C-alpha cells in the first residue's frame, strides 16, 4: 500500500510542471523580442556587431534617417541600395544585386514587419502585463 501514489498529488505536480514550463515560454518570448530592440548591439539582419551607438544616446553618432533598423555598415549600405533600386536607381556597379537579391530584402522586410505587428498585438501586451505582474509580486 505504501507504493500507491495519490492522484491529487500527481495532478498537482503535473499542473506545477505545466505552469513552470509556461512561465519559461513567456519569459523566452519577451527576451527574444527585446534582443531585437533598437539598441541592440548586433545587426538586425546579419547578426554582426554594430559599431554605431544607440540612437537614443544623446550626442552620439547619428544613424542614417533612411534606415529604420539597427544594421551594421554593410547591411546599411545594402538597404539603402535596395531602396534606391526600388526607385529605379541603385549602384550599377553592384550587378549581383539582381531580382533574387531584391526578393531576399523584400522577404526580410516583410518578416520584420510581421515581428513588429506581433510585438504590438494585444496578446503580446497581455503577456508583458502578466510577466510584469508576476515579477512585481
Which tens digit of pLDDT belongs to each residue from 27-46? 888 777 766 555 568 888 99
pTM for the predicted model, two decimal places = 0.67
pLDDT at 59: 46
Judge whether 10 lies within some domain. Answer: no
Confidence tier at 53 by pLDDT (50, 70, 90): low
Within a domain: 102: yes
Asked if the structure places residue 107 within a domain, the reply is yes
Residue 88 lies in a domain: yes
The domain total for the chain is 1
53 within 8 A of 61, measured Cβ to Cβ: yes
pLDDT score of 50: 86
- Is 96 among the domain residues? yes
Sequence-ordered list of residues with C-beta below 8 angstroms from that of 79, at least 6 positions apart, any chain: 45, 66, 67, 69, 71, 105
The predicted-structure confidence for 68-78, as pLDDT tens digits, reads as follows 888 899 999 99
Tell me: pLDDT of 84 over 70.
yes
Domain contains 8? no
Task: Encode pLDDT of 110-120 as tens digits.
Answer: 999 998 899 89
Residue 100 lies in a domain: yes
Which string of DSSP letters, residue by residue, matches 49-96? BP-SPPTTSTTSPPPPTT--S---HHHHHHHHHHHHHHTT---TT-TT
Which is higher by pLDDT, 106 or 25?
106
Task: Confirm if 35 and 57 have CB atoms less than 8 A apart.
Answer: no
Residue 108 lies in domain = 36-136
Amino acid at each position: 500500500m505504501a507504493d500507491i501514489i495519490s492522484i491529487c498529488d500527481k495532478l498537482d505536480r503535473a499542473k506545477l510542471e505545466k505552469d513552470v514550463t509556461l512561465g519559461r515560454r513567456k519569459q523566452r518570448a519577451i527576451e527574444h523580442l527585446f534582443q531585437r530592440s533598437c539598441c541592440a548591439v548586433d545587426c538586425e539582419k546579419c547578426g554582426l556587431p554594430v559599431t554605431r551607438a544607440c540612437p537614443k544616446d544623446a550626442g552620439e553618432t547619428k544613424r542614417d534617417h533612411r534606415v529604420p533598423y539597427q544594421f551594421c555598415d554593410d547591411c546599411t549600405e545594402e538597404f539603402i541600395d535596395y531602396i534606391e533600386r526600388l526607385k529605379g536607381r541603385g549602384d550599377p556597379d553592384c550587378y549581383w544585386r539582381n531580382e533574387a537579391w531584391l526578393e531576399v530584402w523584400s522577404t526580410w522586410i516583410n518578416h520584420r514587419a510581421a515581428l513588429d505587428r506581433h510585438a504590438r498585438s494585444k496578446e503580446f501586451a497581455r503577456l508583458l502585463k502578466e510577466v510584469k505582474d508576476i515579477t512585481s509580486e
